[in-house]
């Protein structure tokens, strides 16, 4: 099958992958758009890990206001190029993350962003609870890291389970987006507003 520029453009619009990657994917899949999308996603997930360190100086601020008008989220979603930043699918990703933030109310972006004093206080609480349960000091030191991971999954956006797919975390949703768009995508910051909250 002949791989036309229209076919390449269609695949590029769907995936935001580079022209050459789109052409190769279409050649590999005999011009089947759906298979080509899948091919690019598989290839992209492997590449996503290598993109993680690249600078993200473009992007956009995305907002979400809940239908009752009493809850809203502002999110800074960053990417590498203006091309991706203006992409409709990129904005859609931002909206999905905003809705997740509205529903899950994370306090921090990642475990690294939890202030040291908050972490120390959480460790103290866990230690007291474990002593209360009759655990020995050496057991406590082994148990606390696991309990902290559980704490992170509640309060850190990137570690939270995605509200629309309980098999993925927000970090994994971002990794899939990195694979799809072909460039690094990061969350700069977010703010959740609630009337009376």
The mean pLDDT of 116-142, rounded to a whole number, is 89
The length of the chain in residues reads 197
Q: Give the number of C-alpha atoms closer than 13 A to the C-alpha of residue 74, restricted to the C-beta side.
A: 4
Nearest C-alpha neighbor of 93 from the set 65, 67, 59: 59
Element (H, E) at 100: helix 88-104
pLDDT digits (tens, 9 = 90+) for 25-54: 888 888 888 888 788 777 764 455 555 556
- For residue 46, the model assigns a pLDDT of 46
């Amino acid at each position: 099958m002949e791989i036309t520029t229209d076919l390449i453009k269609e695949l590029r619009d769907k995936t935001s992958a580079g022209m050459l990657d789109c052409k190769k994917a279409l050649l590999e899949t005999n011009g089947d758009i759906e298979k080509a999308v899948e091919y690019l996603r598989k290839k992209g997930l492997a590449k996503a890990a290598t993109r993680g360190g690249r600078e993200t100086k473009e992007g956009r601020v995305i907002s979400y206001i809940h239908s009752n008008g009493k809850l809203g989220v502002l999110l800074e979603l960053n990417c590498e190029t203006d091309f991706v930043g203006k992409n409709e699918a990129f904005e859609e990703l931002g909206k999905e993350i905003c809705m997740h933030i509205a529903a899950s109310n994370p306090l921090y972006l990642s475990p690294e962003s939890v202030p040291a004093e908050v972490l120390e206080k959480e460790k103290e609480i866990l230690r007291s609870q474990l002593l209360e349960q009759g655990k020995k000091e050496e057991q406590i030191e082994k148990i606390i890291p696991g309990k902290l991971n559980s704490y992170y999954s509640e309060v850190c956006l990137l570690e939270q389970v995605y509200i629309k797919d309980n098999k993925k975390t927000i970090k994994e949703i971002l990794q899939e987006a990195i694979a799809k768009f072909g460039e690094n995508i990061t969350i700069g910051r977010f703010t959740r507003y609630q009337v009376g909250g």
